[in-house]
Amino acid sequence: MEVVEGAASTPRPFFTPPAPDVHDVRDVRDREQELYETLSEVIAQHLIADVPVGLLLSGGLDSSIVAALAARDRRITTISMGFAESEIDERPHARVVADHIGSEHREITIHPHEISDGLEGIAWYFDDLFADWGTVSTRLMYKKCRELGIKVVLVGEGSDELFGGYSIFDAPLRARDR
């Protein structure tokens, strides 16, 4: 939607996803193989860099798949985080995955003052309302990766949106008949 001198135009879609091909008769195994090949190719492409590459590893399904696929052909560096003075800690889950795939694993602890001290500076980058406070800690984690000499990181972001990983993504399915 465009707003000019206080008047809003009629909203129009920026992007319309393609409709599913109803004539696609591939079975589940074929679709799984295509997904595997696509993920493998994309991850391999993103590992090509002239600087150290790391992977943010939470131990959840998304980042674990990315890490496992990346680790097939080379030794990778994985990085996980935990919050000091909090029960929120991804590190034990990430350690299990890191041990399994044989990565060089690093752990980062984020302290409360690091979040609060950086909020004013972070506001400049976001410059808008946002609902995901995880972006604040993730930005801090990127900074800590840089301090470790890791200039490029791969993440599992976006797959929850693609595969409906949270219950909030069920809403369109429930509203389909409306």
122-161 pLDDT, tens digit each? 777 776 666 667 778 888 889 999 999 999 999 888 777 7
Q: Is residue 39 part of a domain?
A: no
d(C-alpha 44, C-alpha 73), whole Å:
9
Domain that holds residue 145: 50-174
- The count of domains in the chain is 1
Q: Is residue 16 part of a domain?
A: no
Q: Is residue 136 part of a domain?
A: yes
Q: Is residue 29 part of a domain?
A: no
CATH number, position 75? 3.40.50.620
Segment 59-72 shows an average pLDDT of 92
Per-residue pLDDT, 161: 73
Indicate the residue type of 137. Answer: S
22-51 pLDDT, tens digit each? 888 889 999 999 999 999 999 999 999 998
**Which among 165, 164, 153 has a CA at the least distance from the CA of 43?**
153
Q: Is residue 31 part of a domain?
A: no
Q: Tell me the pTM.
A: 0.76
Q: Is residue 15 part of a domain?
A: no
Q: Is residue 66 part of a domain?
A: yes
